[in-house]
Amino acid sequence: MISKVLVTGANGQLGRTIRELYERDISLNFVFATKQELDITKNEELKTFFEKTKFDYCINCAAYTNVEQAEQHPDLAFNVNAEGAKNIARECKKHEVVLIHISTDYVFDGKKQTPYVEDDAPNPINQYGKSKLAGEKYIQGILENYFIIRTSWLYSKYGNNFLKTIIRKIKNKEQLQITTSQRGIPTSCSDLSEFIIHIIKNKTSKFGICHFSALGETTWYGYAMRICKHFRAYDCKKIVPVKTFKSMVNRPCYSILDNTKALQIFKRKILWHKSVDKTVKALIREQ
C-alpha cells in the first residue's frame, strides 16, 4: 500500500529538497503544501486540509527559523514553532496520522562537552530554541506515534543558509571573519530527507525524539574553510578566525548531537565534510 505523505512548509529548504529527491517516487504519494496553501497557525485551514485527504504521514517542515528575528519578535516564533506544532499534532491525532516534526540542536544550552543524547535535559538560551522546545512538548503531550527529529546547522541548495552565504561572499572576493567559538555539525537537507523517507518506507516504529546529523564536528570557521577549498581563485587566508562575533542572540557553544539512535534506524554513516563537498559541487555545476 502506497503511503500518502503531507509535507508542510514545502517552500523551505527541507521541503524543496524532499520534493526534488522524492516527488517522482512511485512508492509514495506526496502532497506538498506551502505556507500560502496551508498556514499551520490557522486551525480551520488545517482542519479542512486533513478532512479532505487521508494522510498516513505528515512531515512538518513549517517553521520560523530566523534566530535573530525570533529574539526581537518571540511572539512570531512561538506562533509557528509552538502553536503551529500543537495544531498539527491535534489534527494528526484526530486522523491517525504519524507526525514527523523537525526540531533543532538549539533546544540545548551548549554547556556539555560530549554529544547530546535524546534524554539530555533541554535548556534553550534563545527565543528560537525556546519556541522549538515548546513545540516539542506540545507534540509529546498530544501524540504517541510521532518522530521529533532534532538536527543541526541545516544547509541545502535552496533558501538562505550559511553555506550559500559563504559561497556568495567568496565570489564577491570579500574578507570574512568567522567564529571559532561554536562547535556543531553541518547537516545536509539531502541526508536528512533520506533519513525521513527511510522512516516512512520502512514503517519504522521507534517513535519519540531522535537526533540526526552528519558525523564529525567542526566550528563555523572550519565549515567556511571546507567550502573555500572549492574556489581556487579565492585566497582562503581572507577568511579570518575570530573567537566571537557581534550578535544579539546567545547561541550554544557546543551542540554536537549523538547519532546512535538514528544509526540504528538508518544504517548509513554520513561524514559532514563529504556532504558539504557534494552540495558545493552541485551549486557550482548549476551556476
Catalytic residue positions? Answer: 128
Q: What angle do CA 250, 213, 91 make, to 5 degrees?
A: 85
Cα separation, 10 vs 44, whole angstroms = 19
**Quick count: other Cβ atoms within 10 Å of Cβ 247?**
12
The DSSP element (H or E) to which 209 belongs, if any, is: strand 208-211
Alpha carbons 199 and 139: distance in angstroms, whole number: 18
Q: Can you tell me whether residue 218 is helix, strand or coil?
A: strand
- Cβ atoms of 187 and 212 closer than 8 Å: yes
Determine the Cα–Cα distance for residues 110 and 275; give it in Å rounded to an integer: 24
From CA 127, how far away is CA 149, in angstroms rounded?
A: 19
What stretch of H or E contains 189? helix 189-201
C-alpha cell, 225: 574553510
User: Using CA of residue 31, residue 76, residue 149, residue 68, what is the dihedral sign?
Assistant: positive
| Number of alpha carbons in the 13 Å side-chain half-sphere of residue 210 | 23
